[in-house]
Amino acid sequence: MKVAVFSTKSYDRTFLEAANAGGQHELVFFEPRLNLETSVLAAGFPAVCAFVNDCLDAPTLRAIAQNGVRLLALRSAGFNHVDLAAARDLDLTLLRVPAYSPYAVAEHAVAMILSLNRKIHRAYNRVREGNFALDGLLGFDLHGKTVGIVGTGKIGALTAKILHGFGCRLLGYDVFHNPDCLALGMEYVSLAELFANSDIVSLHCPLLPETYHLINVGAIEQMKPGIMLINTSRGQLIDTKAVTKGLKSGKISYLGLDVYEQETDLFFEDLSDRVIQDDVFQRLLTFPNVLITGHQAFFTEEALKNIAETTIGNITDFEQGRTCPNQIDLSELKK
């Protein structure tokens, strides 16, 4: 198939071309993100390949469908950025990558915990400047601390497994009680109980209407003073303004973010020579106890290889008329 691949960086091209060895599909790479303005680039393509920060709202989907697109292949597990009802009404087939490397995200979440706790990011800068003083770098033993895992699917369960190795007590919140987590000794509790008893809270749940701004003023009020909050899942799980107030009051002592609710205009781009206009994000950067990475938790060789191979496999399934196990069922959406 002829595929328009949007939001591409050099690494996307490298791994997708390797997965497409032999040229079974004609991949045409576009650096711009897909939105209504750039949708004209998809003209003449039966398939579009999109990433997490592409704008796949109703106007954009209508535009690409009018240009002949029939397949929307996502290079991501999440699809909250897609107007599903519009995709259904336009008879678009929607495919995704349900899992690529849960280890990558789980390990990054734990790396953020360790970095924030032991102030690795601050110590690194000090030593480079010849400052070897330890004042302000005091951490704590992870052993014996209570960690609340919100969402205990593949990534949450692996995060729990790693932290279990540190000797942490594990609390979990999920509608489904994962047997692997129970085997680790995880205790499933209500969200309020998890917030009240955890020293560290790590978010690993999907973005749904009921999880939007899961971390808000009320949730923060329920948390233990001095909480460490980690989010490697979806930016909109957190009300950033509420968390900022929590940082200012001292209720939140550590914040690690790999995602941000308004990240679309920031992440995956080099903005080092520009003034960032997002005042809320800029305020976060002023806190010494905040660590932000630019949506890189997934970014390992293994994950990119799996994403590329699954994406090419999905497109091949569609082209050859086979049932694809990674298709998102749009038939049951409310009209």
Catalytic residues: 234, 263, 295
Beta partners for residue 203, in sequence order: 150, 231
In 3-state terms, what secondary structure has residue 265? helix
DSSP letter string, 154-218 = HHHHHHHHHHHHTT-EEEEE-SS--HHHHHTT-EE--HHHHHHH-SEEEE-----TTTTT-BSHH
Q: Which residues of 133-171 are buried (b: 16+ CB within 10 A; e: fewer)?
A: eeeeeeeeebeebbbbbbbbbbbbbbbbbbbbeeebbbb
Q: Where do runs of H (alpha helix) occur along the chain?
A: 10-19, 58-66, 84-89, 102-118, 120-128, 154-165, 179-183, 191-197, 217-222, 240-249, 279-285, 301-319
Nearest 5°: the CA angle 217, 196, 248 is 40
What are the angstrom distances between the C-alpha of 219 and each of 141, 153, 192, 201, 238? 25, 22, 8, 11, 10
Quickly tell me which residue has 């390949």 as its tokens. Answer: 49
* CA 144 remoteness from chain centre: 28
Determine phi and psi for 225, rounding to 5 degrees.
-60, 140
Largest CA distance in the chain: 64
DSSP-derived secondary structure letter, 225: T
Tokens at 276, concatenated = 């960032």
